[in-house]
Structure 1
Amino acid sequence: MFHKIAQPKVRCTSIMIDMPAREYLALVDDVYRTKQGGIVGQRAALKTKTAKTIRDRMVVDILKGVSLPPLVVGVLVDSVAYKAALLDVESREDFKKFLDELGDAELSIIDGMQRTTAIHEAIEGDVDAGVSDVRVEFWISEGANSLIYRMLVLNTGQVPWDIARQLEAVYRPLLKQVEGAVEGAVSFLSRDDGRRSNLSVNIYETEDVVELLLIFSSRKRELNLKDQIAQDFVRLDMIESSSHVDLIRYFSEALILLSELNFAMATYEAGPSHVGSLTRYVAGKEVFRGFPAKAGFIAALSIFLFDKPGFDTDWDAVESKFEVVKANVNKLIDKIKEAQTPEEKELILKLEDLEERIAKHRVGASQVGRFEREFFEKAFSVLFEDSDRIKNFQACWLAY
């Protein structure tokens, strides 16, 4: 069996073949046993009584030779290997040779962890078992976003985790790309590693990055992910947005720009002349320590690039708009870094104005996060819309 569908617009090729179960297990053995399917956060073999009962029945059926639904394996390769899959692979034998020569390609079990476990148990329980061949659909791509798109489409009708946990697992390849893009200067802390307070400016909690991604794709500064209807619309936003190859790159660059601004601000510590007037923002790192400022920055940039929710995006104009913003924001970043004294840095950051404006608007404790998201979205909207005229942050902080 061999079936191939090339999708050059999304840089992805789907190939389905049948193969002996043992051969499949050997192929995915490393990612199955040591990397939980190759996707951080992927469900391992479920251990509940109900799950075990269902899997025991599946094992019995496998030993009887029952055919399973196709398993789905993602293959992330470099551009040379991808072109080989797209052009040279025209038969089952060609593709098996392609798999043998993959080398450093990244495999991930997109769909089929529980079936893989059942196959393992069936073969380990009876080494002479005549297990039926399995059908495997391989999604080969040179871009992580194409695999992400496939995962989202595949999992939309399932409810294995809450939406944030789903996307934390699904978007891990993207987070790895962002980490690599800043040469290890920024790292991500998974929920599985435990939440920590007072994180360094170069560490972002993965769950927060996932929410920033949802904000970026939906162009909304606030999302109620506990609302099932909101979850459904966010999934649709993500599925539609992920079909645009560039959106993932834009988010990566947006996160890098946020990180670079955060690093620059973190070089400021209040000097003697500002200690009395600053209480909350005595250090520049305090601006983005809270999530609302990050959310406001990403929401404002997303709206600037892609227009307000409900309006069609002019994708042809996005690249040039982003280049202008990056160039002008980087000028501000350079000015902050070049300033030698706390007083010189404060002339650029204007944190006294920020603290005064934040303190002026008193809201209930339960509304602080919502108010600050709105405040920072408006502030950073000025930064992006008037980036060529901004000399310091005063106009930003006075926007609300």
Structure 2
Amino acid sequence: MSLNILGYTKDCRTETNVVYAEIEISEYLEFIGEDFDRFEIQRKRQDPKKYTRLKEDIKKGALLPGITLAINPGKVDEFVSEVENRETDKLIERLNKSSDIYILDGLQRSYIIKDLKDDKVEFNPDQKLLLEIWFENKIEHLIYRLIVLNSGQKPMSMRHQVELLFTTLKTEIENEIPNLNIYVEKDGQIRSQSMKFSFDRIVNAYYSFLTKSPEVKRDNLIVKKLNEDDILSSNEEELNANYNSFINCLKKYCELDVNLFKFYSKDPQNAGLKNWLADENTLKGFFSIAGRYSTDEKKASRLHSALDKLLASSKDATIDPLQLKVFMDLKAGIDSKKYNVGNETRRLIMDGFREFFIDEGDTPFDECWINAAR
């Protein structure tokens, strides 16, 4: 393969090793893998018509803007020696064999190159593609890199930045929470067991946790701007603390999912409720209030005390620990002529858990749902 290392540098803010390289455009897809969009899970392919001019320019041999790649953080240590010692030949050999390369920026360009390859276009053998490859194994640095630094470089919504972050951290999260399965909805998997959540919904849960709101507007760059600006102005330590708080809540959420999946699976009439915690509205509602409580030490203590009590009561439970029949009745009573049912459902879930957290889990859930209802 024609991969050529052009230079080495470091991001002085995070001490991240960065390598600049070039490769013949005809070999780029072989280098990153034909399934290069496996990590860009939520990003939709843009209308190819918007890139007609660029496609024609590439056919004529145009030099594209560089594409930014990153090595899977769990595999970065395997490259440290070659990068630090600048053992170029060994590094090239290892990179050429690697299947752990992510696209951080350049997906649409990669799609165009694939289209041209599928069309049997013969690229100019002198036509090169510039690559910027990041070698970072610390989660807090990736958070800073993907959420903070990207915010000032391109009109990228915070939702998209959180999405990119989880694209990179999916494996790390699954390693931190044994038996957690984060799957891609396009894989067509069916939730047949507990602790199985779609990638998209986990991303939305973290976004709700950060913004402290159950409302996620994917394509609106203005909505919740004040909340997002506050988060984007956070320093690395604050972002890392938020991430760790989210993971701690997610761990208990997964434990609760195991208990409730078991409980509701026993009841044929309510078997559908076994997946209630995997529902998008539930995840958004729960993690938005969890995010609010996690910012204050005393509130965080009440949050985790309440969750611990709920975990204890839901293990081998004989009665519904969440009183979801009451919740479902209240949800059914939402007047669709007055309210958006989805918004009201998320608000009901958020406020119901808030009532539960306020009293450190001592208030029965049927009362929590009733108190939370309009």
TM-score by length of 1: 0.68
Alignment partners' CA distance in 2, 1:36 and 1:298: 28
* Deviations, residues 291-321 of structure 1 (Å, cap 9, x unaligned): 33322211111000125xxxxxxxxx4xx96
Alignment partners' CA distance in 2, 1:148 and 1:96: 31
Alignment partners' CA distance in 1, 2:251 and 2:363: 21
Secondary structure of the residue aligned to 1:302 is helix
Residue 367 of structure 1: aligned partner: 340
* Deviations, residues 203-251 of structure 1 (Å, cap 9, x unaligned): 4343333222221111112244454411756764664469422323333
Secondary structure of the residue aligned to 1:138 is strand
The answer (yes or no) to whether the contact 2:209–2:246 under 8 Å persists in 1 is: yes
Residue 313 of structure 1: aligned partner: none
| Change in 2 beyond 3 A, CA 1:37/1:159 | farther
1:378 positional shift: 1.9
2:287 is equivalent to residue 298 of structure 1: yes
Residue 255 of structure 1: aligned partner: 250
Residue 222 of structure 1: aligned partner: 215
| Change in 2 beyond 3 A, CA 1:268/1:77 | closer
Within the candidate set 104, 113, 116, 1:110 is matched to 104
Query: What are the equivalent positions in structure 2 for 1:46-195 lying under 5 Å apart?
Result: 48-62=48-62, 68-78=64-74, 81=77, 84=80, 89=83, 93-94=86-87, 97-98=90-91, 100-101=93-94, 106-113=100-107, 125=122, 129-131=125-127, 135-144=130-139, 146-147=141-142, 149-152=144-147, 153-154=149-150, 168=163, 171-190=166-185, 192-193=186-187
* Deviations, residues 67-120 of structure 1 (Å, cap 9, x unaligned): x433311123348828947xx8557x3466445446768311222345567778
Residue 308 of structure 2: aligned partner: 330
| Change in 2 beyond 3 A, CA 1:145/1:399 | farther
1:172 positional shift: 2.2
Residue 204 of structure 2: aligned partner: 211
Which entry has the higher C-alpha Rg, 1 or 2?
A: 1
| Change in 2 beyond 3 A, CA 1:138/1:38 | same
Residue 34 of structure 1: aligned partner: 35
Secondary structure of the residue aligned to 1:285 is helix
Letter in 1 for 2:348: F
The answer (yes or no) to whether the contact 2:26–2:123 under 8 Å persists in 1 is: no
The answer (yes or no) to whether the contact 1:202–1:259 under 8 Å persists in 2 is: yes
TM-score by length of 2: 0.72
| Change in 2 beyond 3 A, CA 1:329/1:167 | closer
Alignment partners' CA distance in 1, 2:83 and 2:141: 19
1:333 positional shift: 1.6
Alignment partners' CA distance in 1, 2:203 and 2:359: 28
Within the candidate set 360, 373, 376, 2:349 is matched to 376
* Deviations, residues 122-159 of structure 1 (Å, cap 9, x unaligned): 997256x3345x54322221145644554454477657
Structure 2 residue runs of 5 or longer lacking an equivalent are 1-6
Letter in 2 for 1:7: R
Residue 18 of structure 2: aligned partner: 15
Alignment partners' CA distance in 2, 1:41 and 1:351: 31
* Deviations, residues 2-42 of structure 1 (Å, cap 9, x unaligned): 3322434xxx614243x3424x8768735342333753356
The answer (yes or no) to whether the contact 2:293–2:303 under 8 Å persists in 1 is: no
Query: What are the equivalent positions in structure 2 for 1:377-392 lying under 5 Å apart?
Result: 377-387=350-360, 390=362, 392=364
* Deviations, residues 147-206 of structure 1 (Å, cap 9, x unaligned): 45544544776579x87677545522333433344434433342x34698x876544343
Secondary structure of the residue aligned to 1:15 is strand
Question: Identity, % of aligned pairs?
Answer: 16
Letter in 1 for 2:365: F
Superposition RMSD on alpha carbons, in Å? 4.5
Which stretch has the larger CA shift, 200-209 or 370-379?
200-209
| Change in 2 beyond 3 A, CA 1:381/1:98 | farther
Alignment partners' CA distance in 1, 2:230 and 2:169: 17
